[in-house]
Amino acid sequence: MDTSSRLIMLLEVVEQGSFSKAAAMRNIDRSVISKQISKLEEDLGVRLLNRTTRSFSLTAAGAEMVKNAKELRMLLSETVRLAENYHQEPRGLLRIATSHTLGRRYIQPVINQFQKQFPQVNVHLQLDDRPVDLISEGYDLAFRIGEPRDSSLIARKIARNRMLLLASPEFIETYGMPQSMDELAQLPAATYSSSHKRLDSITYINDQSEQCEQVINSVYTSNDGEVILDKVLSGTAYCITPAFLIEDEITQGLLTPLLPQINLPDYSAMYALYPHRDLPVRTRLLLEAVREYIGEPEPRWERNIPNLAELYRTQNS
Amino acid sequence: MDTSSRLIMLLEVVEQGSFSKAAAMRNIDRSVISKQISKLEEDLGVRLLNRTTRSFSLTAAGAEMVKNAKELRMLLSETVRLAENYHQEPRGLLRIATSHTLGRRYIQPVINQFQKQFPQVNVHLQLDDRPVDLISEGYDLAFRIGEPRDSSLIARKIARNRMLLLASPEFIETYGMPQSMDELAQLPAATYSSSHKRLDSITYINDQSEQCEQVINSVYTSNDGEVILDKVLSGTAYCITPAFLIEDEITQGLLTPLLPQINLPDYSAMYALYPHRDLPVRTRLLLEAVREYIGEPEPRWERNIPNLAELYRTQNS
DNA sequence: AGTGTTAATGCCAAAATAGCATCAATCCCA
DNA sequence: TGGGATTGATGCTATTTTGGCATTAACACT
């Protein structure tokens, strides 16, 4: 390890805010970080961190070094990326971040096929429902539902994401088939809720083409779509859910759309996020494989939903 | 050693044109270079050099890597330099390039004193009469006589450089004291001549304030000023010499100015050259020490020359 | 006060490195 | 045209560097 790597290590330490976290990121012992930072200070002849036993702050010199380390890291990764443009065959490590559901249902099958085709490519698939910082965590590619905020990333729309109101036959038997939005709002719902997002109302377009929001009666919330669906399958709640969560529950008669005459707008789409315009071969190929797998313009999951073209699309006369 | 160092190593190899020379520059075995370049190619997954057994050429990928390596080296050295600004005490290695005479006479004494004062600073003094490439050879500071051409360097004028026409008493006894430029031109001269520069004429300013050039009769040439002076001291030639070559030969009566009423313009001055605007402490301090040692506006060597203020300065009436 | 977390340090095994010797290919100069 | 010298590659080994573990000391949060 030499000066530039140590500078980048310093940068990671500062970004993570602690030696331990930086070590965890790299899967190395903290002592390594401690020693390398010491050596960096010795090399440069400057104290970079003011340490208390349990934490640290940057010195003026340290702050300048971090600034340059950032440039250095960019330049270095850019250089490696340039080299990768010359690969005929994709290789190397591909780090992908995605939400649990998207990952398990739509990314994982693509990766399986992909690694059969390109055995030289290693993959790390990180399942996280909270958005991560692609750059500082070192991911090459992320998949997300929802408009991306971080403008330093390139976002590419992969698929639309329609919404459905679903309940089980048992539920309908118990509560009766609701005939209006007001009626539906009284029934028990299972909804998505996390610290970042809360989906406890139904957005729809009324007869006057106005977007309306109907608050619903949420009796069960979770931050995981699959357990919400499980709850709904148990017949004790209905749900409003993005279409990509549905497999064969509707065709098998386990779930039935409610209020199909309602006009539900698309929910935020599925996006691929990546940090650069020109991607390494492996990343580009995987991204294309995902797009192909999901399909366009009708995403794969919509094939599981009969009559979707007419569902929730009432033209307002 | 890791990727960025290897990239810089690649750059050095390309700059030097051979593995061997690059190894020599670093004082390491060639096998090290060979292995590291191989490893770099393996890391990047790209062939960087097309090799024949005895030489190589860059591949397209290699050329791009070299381009980026250059940026990388700049950024890294800039970063180290920034860190050095935080040193209170100068330390580290100071690499100085200079011509033989300047080095021995005017730089070496300064270094002796400097290292007494700052024992933490190591010095490499490279004596070369041909100009070297400061950047690619890794020098921090160079001293030269003559207008610098390389505009990527900062040049700072250290001292003027007056010219003298000198001969020994024995010479004057043999040939008589010349009374005019024409007469002088007939006498045997010892002159400086190298592949880069040739000083076989006398530039002077005539009564009409025009700059003239008188070709002289050179019977001895060398690319080293000191042996030229030795030749002159032997009484068999006169010379035109820059003032910094003279120690106590005139005050001791070993040499006498010829044609003192001639008006000789200053020859190109002594310059310090360095690659950056803001120098590390050690470089700045040494540069200041050299300036102080040589003195301003009258350089140290002019103290050895009686009456210099009147010599070769005839005001044209 | 007690518990858990943090960074530093010493120690040891494992990995990377530099130098040496050798080799084959090529260049160079006579 | 044919030795002699030089170049880059490769195998081997001693040395250096590194990473992980255990321990310690300092601190934070209950």
Nearest-angstrom CA–CA distance, A46 and A43:
8
Closest among A203, A204, A173, A207 to A187, alpha carbons compared: A173
A27 touches strand D (CB under 7 A): yes
Please judge whether B75 and A83 are an interchain contact, meaning their C-beta atoms are less than 8 angstroms apart. Answer: no
Q: Is A192 helix (H, G, I), strand (E, B) or coil?
A: strand
Structure tokens that stand for B74 in this block: 């700049």
Per-residue pLDDT tens over the stretch A67-111: 999 999 999 999 998 998 888 788 888 999 998 889 999 999 999
B25 touches strand C (CB under 7 A): no
Is the pLDDT assigned to residue A315 strictly greater than 70?
Answer: no
Closest among B183, B165, B178, B182 to B257, alpha carbons compared: B165
Question: Whole-prediction pTM value?
Answer: 0.72
Please judge whether B65 and A79 are an interchain contact, meaning their C-beta atoms are less than 8 angstroms apart. Answer: yes
Q: What is the pLDDT of residue A317?
A: 38
Per-residue pLDDT tens over the stretch A115-150: 999 888 889 898 888 778 887 778 899 999 888 777
Return mean pLDDT, chain B.
Answer: 89
Please judge whether A76 and B4 are an interchain contact, meaning their C-beta atoms are less than 8 angstroms apart. Answer: yes
Nearest-angstrom CA–CA distance, A121 and A89:
9
Q: Which residue is nearest to nucleotide C25 (CA to C1')?
A: B53
Chain B positions in Cβ-Cβ contact with residue A82 (cut-off 8 Å): 61, 64-65, 68
The single-letter code of the amino acid at B224 is D
Residue A60 Cα, gap to closest chain B Cα (Å):
9
Contact A171, A238 (CB under 8 A): yes
Structure tokens that stand for A119 in this block: 């055995």
Please judge whether A72 and B69 are an interchain contact, meaning their C-beta atoms are less than 8 angstroms apart. Answer: no
Rounded to 5°, angle at Cα B220 from B216 and B226: 110
DSSP H/E element including A155 = strand A154-161
Nearest-angstrom CA–CA distance, B67 and A258:
62
Q: Provide the CA B26 to C1' C20 distance, Å, integer.
A: 17
Is the pLDDT assigned to residue A293 strictly greater than 90?
Answer: yes
Nucleotides of strand D under 7 angstroms from a protein beta carbon: 6-11, 17-22, 25-28
Does a cis peptide bond (omega within 30 degrees of 0) precede residue B297? yes
Q: What is the pLDDT of residue A137?
A: 79
Picking from A1, A72, A83, the nearest residue to B79 by CB comes out as: A72
Contact B8, B36 (CB under 8 A): no
Per-residue pLDDT tens over the stretch A216-248: 998 999 988 889 999 999 999 999 999 999 999
Closest among B159, B95, B102 to B122, alpha carbons compared: B95
